[in-house]
Chains A and B, each alone.
Chain A
C-alpha cells in the first residue's frame, strides 16, 4: 500500500459563527448559563421570603433596578430559546408510538405546548391565588 501523506485540517475556534445552524446550536447550548442564573435568582428570592416581609420587598425593589431588568431580559430570551428548541427536538429524539404507529412530530410538539400552558396556569394560580 502506498503511504498516504494526508493534509490534516483543524477546526477554527470560531467554527460556529459561519453557519446559521451552528450559531443557533451554540446559542441553544449557552442557554444553560441563564438557566443557572434563574436558579440563583429564585434562590435569592426564596431566601428573602424566608427572612421575612421586609427582605421580600427589598428583593422585589432590587429586581426592578434597570441593570437587573436588563440581565433578566437577556436571560429570559435564552430560556425561551431553550423551551422552543427543547420542544422541537423532543419528537426527533424519541420514537413515540401509539398502537404500533409512530406519533407525528406535530402531535408531540403540540402536546408539549399544552403541557407548558397547563403548568404556567397552575403556577400563576398557586402564586397569586
Chain B
C-alpha cells in the first residue's frame, strides 16, 4: 500500500472536516492551520510527482468483486495534481484576507481545504469508478463554496450548479457502464483498452459511439462545454473570489481531465479519430469557444465576464484534446497550465477590487489602476497572457493548438479551428483590455487630485504577483513543459 499516494487525498479532507470541531475561532490560528495543511499537501504532491515512478499505484477498497477504488500516478496526474496543489496555496493565502469581507470563515475553510484533497483524488484516480467517486464528491463539496454568501442569487446558482453537475455525471455514468462492458478494464491505460471486436461483434457500434459521445458531453459539464455550460456563468461569479478563481482555474480542468481519461486512456484515439463523434465534439468545442467569448464581450458584470471567458477558454483546451493529434494534445496541456494560472489571477484581481472598492461592474472601474496599481498590473499581464501575446504562456499554447489542428487529419476543421481560435483571441482582447485601458487611463474627467491609493495588503498581492510571474515565465520557459507533455503524448498516441 502506497501511503504516499493516499496522503494528499485524505489529509486535506480530514483537516478540512476538523476545522469546525477544533473550534479554531481565532483567525491567526486558523490561518496557520489552513496554510500548513495546503503547503504540506502541495509538498507531498510535488514529492509524489517527482519521486513516484509512472504507474505507481495503490488499491484502496474493493467495492465489490469487480469494482475497486485505486489511485495511480502518471503524467496527467502529475500535471493536474501539481496545478491544484499549487493554486490552492495561493488561493488560500489570498482567502485569509478576502474572506473577512464574506464572513462564515470556518465553513469556508472547511470546504476549501477539503476540496483540494478531492481534486488530488481525481487526478490520482487509477480507474473510472474512482474518478467518478471523487468527481461526485467534488460536486458535493464545492457547492457550499458557490452558495457561500447565502444570498438568494447564490443559493439559486448553487442549486443550478448541483443539478447540472449531477446531470452531467449521470450521463457520464451511463456511458461508463458501456465502457466497463466493452473495455478490457476500467483502469486507465495509456492508449486505451477498447475491445473493438466486441463492439463490432455486438452490432451496437453506433450505440457505443453515441454513449462515448454522451460520456464526454457529461464530463464536459464541469468544463463548461456546450450544451451543459449554462451553470458556469451563474455559479462562478457568485462564489467568493478565491473560490471563483479555483472553480474556474482548477475545477473546470477536472472535467477536461475526465474527458482526456475517457478518450486517451479508455476508448483510445484510434476508435474515435475521423468518426462523426470527433466532428461533433470539435463542433461543440468550437461553438463553445466562440459563444463564450461573445457572451463575455457583451457581459457588463466583471466576474461574470470572467466566467464566460472561462467557458470559452476551457473549450480551447477541449478543442486541443479533440484534435486527437499529439501536437494539439500538447497545446491542450499547455493551455491547461496557462488558463489555470491566468484565470486565477483575473478572478483574484477582480476579487481584490471588489474587496477594496466594492465595484462589480466593468463600467465602474475607471481609474482603478491609479488606486490599485499592483492589482491592475497583474490583471493586465494576465490578460495579455490569455489573449496570447508572446512571450506569455497563452501564446505558446495557442500556437500548439493551431499547428496541432492544421496537422491533424480533421478536414475542414483544420482551418475552421484556428480561425475560430483567432477570432476568439480578438474577442478576448476586446473584453479584457478595455478594463486595463480605462483603469490606467481614466480620461480627463477623472479626479486626479483626489484619488487615494487603496492597494490591498500582502496576503492578496503576493499570491497575485507570484501567479503573474508564472503566467509570464511559463511562456518563456515553454520547452521543459512542452517536452514533458510530449512524453505524455508519446504514451497515448
* Chains A and B come from one and the same complex: no
Residues of B within 8 A of A (CB): none
